[in-house]
């Protein structure tokens, strides 16, 4: 096993990530304006922009879901117990002692187990909560959801929507903070901009990528070769 510079985030993934990030920030800003948290823009502008951006994000999510399943990339999000404890321990203790992050990106696992679980929850719980409640709210607010609001009570849908929004805001705070836990903030951020990151590859994977995916791997003869595949701790 050796470390290579591999393009872990494809162009679509990066476009997805950043346009999703921009959309979510805009949605949080306009959403909290609608909720009355701030008045930096008028309610009308906020409601208009919020709906518009929500439509755009939904469209993006349709593409992203399609991409995840057609490329098989969805497998990165399957929960795993492997190394879970080590990563959790690292964030709770090891990080203060100056330990190195116990997890190394592999070809089949570009996220550490905590990350994978978080993103999975985001994808199957929080995001559906926001878009299902959002669409329901939109239908009601457009005057076509009378039966729906009668059934759920007029406050239920906005309540779920707001709770999900708060969860997303919390995710963003944690997400940004965790960027600081690597070598550096920039080092963590860079792969999502350029796509390239250090990844541990088995010889077979490396051979395959070098042979078939020449645009997505930088073969480095001079690269430091790690002898141990993973640091083992007690």
Partner 1 sequence: MNGQPGTQQMIRLKPKQQDLSSRHIIGLLAGIFLAVNCSLAQAEHGDDPKIEMGITEYKKTHEEHSKKAAEKKDTASTTDHSKLKELEGPFNSGPEVTKACLSCHNKAGHQFTKNKHWTWRYKHPETGQELGKGVLINNFCTNAKGNEGMCAQCHAGYGMTDIDTYDFNNEENIDCLICHESSGTYYKTPTSSGNKACSVMFEGKPPLDWTKIAQSVGDPGRNNCGKCHFYGGGGDNVKHGDLSSVLFDPPKAVDVHMSTEGEDFACITCHVGEGHDWAGSRYEMLVHDDKGTGKPGAPREVASCESCHGTRPHSNTDIIGLKLNGHLDKVACETCHIPTIAKGGVATVIDWDWRTMGKLKNGEGFKLKEYTQGDGHHRATYKSIKGNFKYGENLKPRLEWFDGTMKYTTIDTKFDPAKAPILINGFDGAHDDPDSRIYPFKVMHTTQPYDKGNNTLVYMHLWGNDDVALWGNYSFDKAIKAGMERNGLPYSGEWGFIETLSYWPINHMVAPKEDALACGECHANDGRISHLKGFYVPGTGRTPMLDTIGLLAVLGTAGGVLGHGALRLMASRRRKK
SS3 7: strand
140 is a site residue for partner 1 (CB under 8 A): yes
Q: How far is the CB of 107 from partner 1 (least distance, A)?
A: 30
Residue whose token pair is 């950043």: 18
| Structure-block tokens of residue 181 | 């836990």
Residue 95 interacts with partner 1 (CB under 8 A): yes or no? yes
56-85 residues near partner 1, rule: CB under 8 A: none
For residues 6 and 216, the answer to whether their CB atoms sit within 8 Å is: yes
Q: DSSP for 175-190?
A: HHHHGGGSS-HHHHHH
Return the number of the residue (4 or 103) whose C-beta is nearest partner 1.
103
Residue 51 makes contact with partner 1 by CB under 8 A:
yes
What lies within 8 Å, CB to CB, of 78 at 6+ separation is: 116, 120
Q: Decide if residue 155 touches partner 1 (CB under 8 A).
A: yes
Stretch that binds partner 1, among 13-21, 117-125, 141-149, 216-224 (CB under 8 A): 141-149
Of the candidates 48, 66, 69, 185, which one interacts with partner 1 according to CB under 8 A? 48
- DSSP 8-class letter at 221: T
Size of the site for partner 1 (CB under 8 A): 38
Q: Does residue 163 bind partner 1 (CB under 8 A)?
A: yes
Site for partner 1 in 107-126 (CB under 8 A): none
What is the C-alpha to C-alpha distance for residues 154 and 48, in angstroms, rounded to an integer? 21
């Amino acid at each position: 096993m050796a470390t290579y510079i591999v393009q872990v985030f494809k162009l679509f993934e990066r476009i997805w990530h950043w346009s999703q990030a921009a959309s979510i920030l805009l949605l949080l800003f306009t959403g909290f304006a609608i909720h009355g948290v701030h008045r930096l823009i008028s309610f009308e502008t906020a409601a208009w922009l919020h709906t518009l951006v929500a439509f755009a994000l939904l469209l993006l999510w349709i593409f992203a879901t399609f991409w995840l399943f057609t490329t098989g990339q969805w497998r990165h999000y399957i929960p795993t117990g492997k190394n879970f404890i080590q990563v959790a321990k690292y964030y709770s203790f090891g990080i203060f002692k100056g330990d190195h992050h116990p997890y190394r990106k592999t070809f089949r696992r570009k996220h550490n187990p905590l990350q994978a679980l978080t993103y999975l929850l985001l994808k199957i719980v929080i995001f559906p909560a926001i878009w299902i409640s959002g669409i329901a709210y939109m239908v009601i607010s457009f005057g076509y959801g009378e039966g729906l609001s009668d059934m759920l009570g007029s406050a239920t849908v906005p309540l779920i929507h707001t709770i999900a929004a708060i969860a997303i805001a919390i995710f963003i705070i944690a997400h940004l903070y965790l960027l600081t836990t690597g070598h550096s903030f920039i080092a963590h951020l860079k792969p999502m901009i350029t796509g390239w990151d250090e990844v541990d590859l088995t010889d077979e994977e490396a051979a395959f990528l070098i042979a078939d995916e020449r645009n997505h791997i930088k073969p480095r003869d001079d690269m430091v070769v790690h002898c141990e595949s993973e640091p083992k701790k007690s």
